[in-house]
Structure 1
Amino acid sequence: MITQNLNEEVQLQNTPKEESKLGNAWYMLKKNKAALVGLVIIIILVLVAILGPLIMPYNPNIGELSQSLQKPSLAHWFGTDEQGRDILSRIIDGTKISLRVGITAVAVALSIGIVVGSIAGYYGGKVDMLIMRFMDIILAFPSLLLAIAFMSVLGKGIDNAIIAISIVTIPEYARIVRGSILSIKDSEYVQAARVIGNSDFAIIFKHILPNVISPIIVRATLGVSNAILDTAALGFLGLGVQPPQAEWGSMLGAGRGYFYNASHIILFPGIAITITVLAFNLFGDGLRDALDPKLHQ
């Protein structure tokens, strides 16, 4: 009888009217105009990445030298680069690279960070100290410099850029997950889950993480913008996507020598990076406010 009551208590704690919570979050999000603007831009970017081959006016990797450094015109809305390639087509083609790296790197770092942070926060003691001191060592270095160091070992390329960016951002998610678990691991419903015989794995991933997922989702959303910036920085330094494939950072790097006589080469990729990062930041900030229960009272 006692076990049955404890089991019912755990179930009640972990079914807090999800529809109501999601409805309140969506209501709060809709009230935030800046967040909606960010969401609309993100949706447009995703559609551009998917439909890129259908909407690109030219082949992004092939150009004519006779058309090099052309200023924006009706034929080339964003002008052409030093090799006569259409900049608009290259920006469209580069959208899928930036989104792919940003989302994939965050997904990998988040997955590992959840596991590492959960172990550290739940078990504590020497395990916690060992894991978090290692995370602190990684955090002691500027993320971009550490990513460059990893790239020098792994080599150039988009896949290695994803690995490098993922590694340097794991500590951020591990610390958030650890702190969230520490705040509720001694709660009554968690103790009840232990009493009825749930395994540590079930307690962490079934009872604890669902109740602390909000700050993790918000940080992951904001983390995409940071990953896109790191991707652009690596591309600017020639360590990310390799020519002739288009990527906004590499376009900036290739065009920096033409700043005075053909500034459009770096202007439009720079705008693309700015708008994308701003969109994810606006949406992430709005999501944080929408998922904050204090604002719903």
Structure 2
Amino acid sequence: MENNIEIKNEVLQKDIDIKKEKKFSQWREMWYMIKQNKAALVGMVIIVILLLLAILGRIIEPYDPNVGQLSESLQAPSTLHWFGTDEQGRDILSRIIDGTKISLRVGITAVAFALTIGIVMGSIAGYYGGKIDMIVMRVMDIILAFPSLLLAIAFMSALGRGIDKAIIAISIVTIPEYARIVRSSILSVKESEYIQAARVIGNTDRAIIFKHILPNVISPIVVRATLGISSAILDTAALGFLGLGVQPPTAEWGSMLGSGRGYFFNAPHIVVFPGIAITITVLAFNLFGDGLRDALDPKLRN
């Protein structure tokens, strides 16, 4: 009897070890594919640098980003102010560094919120189908019928200005993208043999969705979420440019563009450097997202 128990334990342990090794090999293969993709590697390095700037911002900023001297306004880039100063004499480099945490916070938080809601709604619609699917998808279609930025502006007008309101507005307008991806992924696998086997042995619908279906369709969701961060950052900058996002004197790249556009011909550096920061950040997430898609796609790996 004891020998049988020991044998079962050994078999169980071997099975656990095999699964761990398989999962580790998958992560190692994905990392190898990303390293082979130079563009994705560059994007990942830039993202890491941006995260460090967001974390260490106030430590490495040469000046207070929200305090300036009018006597030093509109100064061109120099050894004292590498990116020059704005119309209120504030150091642009310090404000760009300080604005990094705002853009990343809004982008990551908005995508996380939209992804959570989208996974739940897409899973319900794709798994149960019928009237539930029709109702959920028609609501998503109504949201998609409006331009995302225009709808975000409408929500901001209703909710008010501020970073928290911007996160909510951007999240709501991007929920349909994730819901549709999750729904289509679930429809493609929900009639598979392993799903039917899970039903036969008595797994609940919740367990089937979150333990058996979603882990096997997570790749396109992760890729879209990575690319979605760049879109959220662009929307944040657009709302800030229109004066609906982060309010002064808080530094945010879009609001820096909005406040400096009147000085473009006299002091172009006021809008050039924030614009470059937005471009590099969006490009980094797009490059990394494309590389992540290639690494997670079995067909492309082969």
Q: Which residue of 2 aligns with 1:71?
A: 76
CA shift, 1:24, in A, is 1.5
Q: Which residue of 1 aligns with 2:299?
A: 294
The runs of at least 4 consecutive aligned structure 1 residues that moved more than 4 Å come to none
**Residues of 2 paired with 1:28 and 1:61: CA distance?**
42
Q: Which residue of 1 aligns with 2:109?
A: 104
Q: Which residue of 1 aligns with 2:211?
A: 206
- Structure 2: which 5+ residue stretches go unaligned? 1-11
Deviations 1:80-120 (A, max 9, x none): 00000000000000000000000000000000000000000
Deviations 1:211-231 (A, max 9, x none): 000000000000000000000
Once the two structures are aligned, what percentage of the paired residues are identical?
A: 81
Deviations 1:166-221 (A, max 9, x none): 00000000000000000000000000000000000000000000000000000000
Corresponding residue SS for 2:280: helix
Query: Are 1:28 and 2:33 an aligned pair?
Result: yes
Q: Which residue of 2 aligns with 1:132?
A: 137
Match of 1:155 among 136, 157, 160: 160
Match of 2:282 among 277, 281, 288: 277
Matched ranges for 1:143-222 at <5 A: 143-222=148-227
**Residues of 1 paired with 2:139 and 2:166: CA distance?**
22
The residue identity in structure 1 corresponding to 2:295 is A
Q: Which residue of 2 aligns with 1:19?
A: 24
Corresponding residue SS for 1:79: coil
TM-score with structure 2 length normalisation? 0.93
Query: Are 1:266 and 2:271 an aligned pair?
Result: yes
Match of 2:58 among 48, 53, 61: 53
The residue identity in structure 2 corresponding to 1:84 is G
The residue identity in structure 2 corresponding to 1:287 is L
**Residues of 1 paired with 2:156 and 2:194: CA distance?**
45
CA shift, 1:23, in A, is 1.7
Q: Which residue of 2 aligns with 1:43?
A: 48
The residue identity in structure 2 corresponding to 1:136 is D
Q: Which residue of 1 aligns with 2:7?
A: none
Corresponding residue SS for 1:245: coil
Q: Give the number of equivalent residue pairs.
A: 286
Deviations 1:129-169 (A, max 9, x none): 00001000100110000000000000000000000000000
CA shift, 1:21, in A, is 1.7
The residue identity in structure 2 corresponding to 1:157 is G
CA shift, 1:296, in A, is 2.6
TM-score with structure 1 length normalisation? 0.95
The residue identity in structure 1 corresponding to 2:296 is L
